[in-house]
C-alpha cells in the first residue's frame, strides 16, 4: 500500500514526482493492461511463465533504455522458458516493434503503456509531469507476489543487473 508522502526520482538530477500506487515486496503483483507490438492488449495475467520480470523504462530510443533492454534480452535467452522478461514503456507499439527489429531483440516482450498508463499507475512508476515511466524492475514469482523491487533513483542510470538476476534465481526456487 502506498503512504501519503510524495515519492520522487531524479532525471539528470532534476526531481520528478511519481504518480500511482507504490508496490512493495510481498504485495500481490497488480494486473495491468498494456499494448503489444501487434496492437493487442496484454495483461500480466496473460503471461504464464513461472517468474516474470517487469522492467519499466522511459523510452527504448534513449541510450540507457537501449542498453538495459539489450542486456535483458541476452539474459532472457539464458534464463529459459520459465522466466519472461517484459519491458514496458510509453513508446508507441509501432516504435517498439521498429526498435526491437533494428536492435535484434526477440527474447524480451515489449509492451506499450501509452493508452491508459495502467502499468505506470498500478505500479507507482509514472513520471507525473512527463507521462513517462521511471526506470524500475519488479520480479514476481509463481504466486504473482512481488519478490523484488528496484527503483532506480536517477532515471538516467542502469539498474543493478546482478541483483535482478539474483532475485530471479530466488523466485525460481519458490
Active site residues: 65
What burial letters (b/e) apply to 119-128, b meaning 16+ CB within 10 Å? bbbbbbbbbe
**DSSP tally for the chain: helices H, then strands E:** 4, 11
Cell of 71: 542486456
Cβ atoms of 150 and 163 within 8 Å: the answer is: yes
DSSP, collapsed to helix, strand or coil, labels residue 14 as strand
Q: Are 2 and 111 in contact (CB under 8 A)?
A: no
With left for phi above 0 and alpha for psi between -120 and 50, is residue 49 left, alpha or beta? beta
Cβ atoms of 131 and 19 closer than 8 Å: no
Amino acid at each position: 500500500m502506498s503512504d501519503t508522502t510524495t515519492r520522487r526520482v531524479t532525471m539528470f538530477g532534476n526531481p520528478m514526482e511519481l504518480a500511482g500506487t507504490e508496490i512493495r515486496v510481498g504485495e500481490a503483483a497488480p494486473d495491468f493492461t498494456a499494448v503489444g507490438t501487434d496492437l493487442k492488449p496484454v495483461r500480466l495475467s496473460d503471461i504464464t511463465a513461472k517468474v516474470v520480470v517487469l522492467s519499466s523504462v522511459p523510452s527504448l530510443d534513449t541510450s540507457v533504455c537501449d542498453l538495459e533492454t539489450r542486456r535483458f534480452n541476452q539474459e532472457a535467452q539464458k534464463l529459459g522458458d520459465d522466466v519472461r522478461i517484459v519491458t514496458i514503456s510509453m513508446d508507441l507499439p509501432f516504435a517498439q516493434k521498429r526498435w526491437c527489429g533494428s536492435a535484434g531483440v526477440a527474447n524480451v516482450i515489449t509492451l506499450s503503456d501509452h493508452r491508459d498508463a495502467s502499468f505506470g499507475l498500478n505500479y507507482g512508476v509514472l513520471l507525473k509531469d512527463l507521462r513517462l515511466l521511471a526506470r524500475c524492475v519488479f520480479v514476481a514469482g509463481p504466486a504473482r507476489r512481488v519478490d523484488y523491487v528496484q527503483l532506480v533513483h536517477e532515471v538516467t542510470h542502469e539498474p543493478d543487473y546482478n541483483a535482478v538476476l539474483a532475485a530471479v534465481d530466488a523466485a525460481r526456487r519458490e
